[in-house]
Amino acid sequence: MASTTKDRILDGALELLRVERGAITLDAAAKQVGLTKPGLMYHFPTKEALMLGVVDHVAGRWEALLRGRLGQSPETASPHQRIRAYVEVALSGRFDRADYAIYTNALYRQALTATWVRRLAPWLTLPGSLPGPVRARLTAARLLADAYWAAAATDVFPVPDRDRAELLTVAETLLKDEMPR
């Protein structure tokens, strides 16, 4: 399947984050994929538009991984099934500093945060009707996955691959005793 020009631009911008460690400009992104700046601006007229596109691209990849793992939409899955899918993706996927940079950049820009929330809220939001202990276990499993992902993506105190299966076992302990939906 051929990649669209937009996808090439977004992938190129992510590659800039890997190589340049956070420096995405319209000029650099255009050069990265062999376009002129006006050629890039046809697809992304501003840096803000490019950054929104990159965040949506990465969040969309997360969403696709989650759907692939779960095998159904989050709306039809139980909270346990959704959190389990999230844990399994976070502990089995390969992520890097570009993923982390895009995620953390959202902390400082509301529009970028809104994209993450829109894409991942269906997976991570727990119903208020869940009993406290169940909510706590599901939240603990998600936070375990978040911490593993952050360590792996930043390469700061990464967890050795040999420990990944054991972490999944710990997460499964937190996720058991699923209550009926």
Using one digit for the tens of pLDDT, what is the confidence trace for 60-88?
999 999 999 999 999 999 999 999 999 99
Comparing C-alpha atoms, which of 148, 86, 87 is closest to residue 121? 86
Contact 74, 66 (CB under 8 A): yes
**Would you state the pLDDT for residue 180?**
46
Residue carrying the six token digits 């159904």: 72
**Would you state the pLDDT for residue 1?**
39
**Would you state the pLDDT for residue 46?**
94
- pTM for the whole structure: 0.85
For residue 63, give the DSSP letter.
H
Rounded distance, CA 113 to CA 121, Å? 11
**Would you state the pLDDT for residue 63?**
94
Question: Residues of the chain whose pLDDT is less than 70?
Answer: 1-2, 20-22, 107, 177-181
**Would you state the pLDDT for residue 21?**
63
Contact 77, 123 (CB under 8 A): no
